[in-house]
Amino acid sequence: MASATFLILVAAASLLASFAQADLQYGYYNTTCPGVEELVRTELEAIFADDSTLRAGLLRLHFHDCFVRGCDASLMLNSHNGTAEKHADPNLTVRGYEAIEAIKKVVEKACPLVVSCADIMAMAARDAVNFSAGPRYEVETGRRDGNVSMLEEALTNLPPADGNVTVLTQYFAVKNLTMKDMVVLSAAHTIGVTHCSSFSKRLYNFTGAGDQDPSLEPAYGKTLTTKCPTEKMASVVPMDDVTVDKFDLGYYESVYNHRAVLRSDAALVEDSLTGAYVALMNNASSLDIFFADFAVAMINMGRAGVLTGTQGEIRETCGVYVD
């Protein structure tokens, strides 16, 4: 259970957020679709009971949507020609589309053409965190859905899995997110898995000489080569090997002890500023601070490039075709 300190910090952040982004607001659907957030949560509870791995999937789905054209559900759009965002290489392993569509169908029955797919995705990401023992924070709503989705934009806007802190900070800055937002949001990797192909270079050919990344803790590197032999790059491993399915500080413990899987995660300890935050979070007493920081960072990311007012659309189905 979160402490009073955590609740106060999130409440303060929420108040500041409401002033900062007038087009989004808390309780946007209070009169037009009352109870929609609980409706979404109820549907998710059933979905997660059937497949708990979708908690990480829906969190990632929201991230990948917000980083391309903003949080506008453009990642949900389909293309007959394979030219939509979801067809870009970084999105080929993204999961959760069917879950969002299922929730949208239920919401449409209650409130036809009122609630956007983008807002459902934001609610689902929040609830995915909470159902994984993470914080439950208020979500700003009022987003509308975009109707443009381009593969090329996904390739140029999604942060690379092998980026260093300088590169990652630049990608986040484009979305008006700070370095702190970046090191905090990176901890979304405390739940979920990644494919061996995403970090195989660290194991087998880091400098091009058939070597292993020297920043990787040797014993853990050996464990990863066992789990990810060269002939099985489609295999998956958890990004947080401390507490695989729990939203907690296990991610930072892994990073601090040089047991991060992705190079972009491992890089956090190589910068003095992000490294200091990792060190601070490598302590059980920092959990409430992390929860409060994560709530603020998610609110900040949720404002990226949003469509509001008369912009965009509210569509009956999230995954319509753009061609």
Query: Would you state the pLDDT for residue 278?
Result: 98
Q: Is 276 left (phi over 0), alpha (psi -120 to 50) or beta?
A: alpha
pLDDT of residue 23: 87
Count CA within 13 A, CB hemisphere, residue 138. 19
Task: Quote the pTM value.
Answer: 0.91
Is 309 known to sit in a ligand binding site? no
Is residue 15 over pLDDT 60?
no
Domains along the chain with CATH numbers:
180-295 (1.10.420.10)
Question: Could you write out the DSSP letters of every residue in 229-286?
Answer: -TT-TT-EEES-SSSTTS-STHHHHHHHTT--SSHHHHGGGGSHHHHHHHHHHSSGGG
Share of the chain above pLDDT 90, in %: 92
> Does the annotation place 258 within a ligand binding site?
no
Q: Is residue 44 within 8 Å of 62, Cβ to Cβ? A: no
Q: Is 68 annotated as a binding residue?
A: yes
The pLDDT of residue 220 is above 50: yes
pLDDT in tens, 296-316: 999 999 999 999 999 999 999
Q: Tokens at residue 180, please? A: 């702190």
Note whether 83 and 151 are within 8 A (CB): yes
Q: Which residues are catalytic?
A: 64
